[in-house]
Amino acid sequence: MSPATLAVTTGRPPREPDQPLNVPITLASTYVAGGDIDYGRYGNPTWSAFEDTLGALEGGRCLAFSTGMAAVTTVLDLVGQGAKVVLPKHAYQGSLMAVADLEARGRLVSRLVDITDTAAVVAECQDAALVWLESPTNPALEVADIETIAAAAHEAGAYVVVDNTFATPLLQQPIPLGADIVVHSATKYLAGHSDALIGALVTADDELLEVLKGRRGLAGATPGTMEAWLAVRGMRTLHLRVERAQANAQTLVTRLREHPAVAEVRYPGFGGIVAIVLAEGELAADLLVRKTRIWVHATSLGGVESTFERRRRWRTESPTIPVALVRMSVGIEDVEDLWSDLETALDTLTASPPR
Ligand SMILES: *Cc1c(COP(=O)(O)O)cnc(C)c1O
């Protein structure tokens, strides 16, 4: 079945008379003994609908977590004492901070790499325990050669993890490319409506799945039932939203490249995230995000609504990200409305200053 059909049909109750079409929100801390779940921290039928759907889309088995960061730190916790972790220097800042925190406490050693330099990444894989990839990266939008790097990492005996939040399983499937674990902030495109925090891990390795499930229970990093339900609801339209956001992004990229207020446009060629660097610098970027009526000045991404922010407003963002870089999460509104709102704001940045 194609991804569009899987997104709509997976994770449904059995087709029997009077069964609902949609999975109900099961509010339960405990279950009658003798079954497979027993207690609310070990499982929930609403989580299962989310897990079955995302697992089918990624080509593996899925575990839902409370947030993307809960999924990230659960994987990092598997790394042995003092082992080496390779990760992109422009990975999601939360993932970089989690690794730096573990390194400061002597738990692991990290090597930050430019993931576009495949030969350098492959060389770093040699004595690594874990190779962490994010592609495209947040917010630099660099793309990794996942297949080549995964093959080299496996040869060196390292695990390969891919944060697939930006691409979604519709535009990139890391498991067939060689990833052992796929990480998602389902808060973003999967849930897709800026109303829920939820994360996920997907793996095709049943043994690894049991280990991760055990860790999730020990950390208590389990999602709320309402959040799991919202994410299932979101995934039913994932293909339509990603298709529209991508088409809008491609149109905007062409026009942004022509605008004199924009010095640089970064776009990997697919997906709904675009980064621009303002020609007039940091102040122009700060002005832009306050001058629009449709585009919302907000962090996060992957919702139906178009949002943007200057990433270096966060003191924790990498110093190698340009200060005037604005990350744009293109939504599913009408593209002409999006462009005219943006163009009006950009034009004010190039107009000559009042005397
Ligand atoms: C947002 C994000 C995360 C963290 O997810 P939360 O749900 O906010 O905890 C991890 N990776 C990427 C690429 C993200 O964009």
How far away, in angstroms, is 198 Cα from ligand 1 center?
9
**What are all long-range contacts of 8-16, with beta carbons under 8 Å and residues at least 24 apart?**
8/236, 10/52, 10/53, 10/56, 10/57, 11/48, 11/49, 11/50, 11/51, 11/52, 11/53, 11/232, 12/49
State the span(s) of the chain assigned CATH 3.90.1150.10. Answer: 238-351
Contact 107, 81 (CB under 8 A): yes
H or E element, residue 309: strand 307-310
Kind of pairing between the strands at 307-310 and 296-297: parallel
Is omega for the bond preceding 169 within 30 degrees of 0, making it cis? no
User: Annotated catalytic residue: which of 163, 189, 312, 327?
Assistant: 163
Write the residue with the smallest CA distance to atom 4 of ligand 1. 68
Q: What is the pLDDT of residue 94?
A: 96
Confidence (pLDDT) at 354: 54
Q: Which residues of the chain have pLDDT under 50?
A: none
Task: In the chain, list all ranges with CATH 3.40.640.10.
Answer: 3-235
Give the per-residue pLDDT at 343.
98
Say what the pLDDT of residue 353 is. 58
pLDDT for position 350: 85
Residue 46: both structure tokens together? 């609403």
CATH topology of domain 3-235: Aspartate Aminotransferase; domain 2 (3.40.640)
* Secondary-structure class of domain 238-351 per CATH: alpha beta
Query: So what's the pLDDT on residue 352?
Result: 60
Q: Are 231 and 191 in contact (CB under 8 A)?
A: yes
200: Cβ below 6 Å to ligand 1?
A: no
Active-site residue flag, 92? yes
| Ligand 1 pocket, residue 225 CB under 6 Å | no
Closest CA to 75 of 58, 95, 101: 95
Helix residue spans in 20-159 (DSSP H): 45-58, 68-76, 93-104, 118-125, 146-155
Identify the three-state secondary structure at position 266: strand
Asked whether 68 lines ligand 1 (CB < 6 A), one says yes
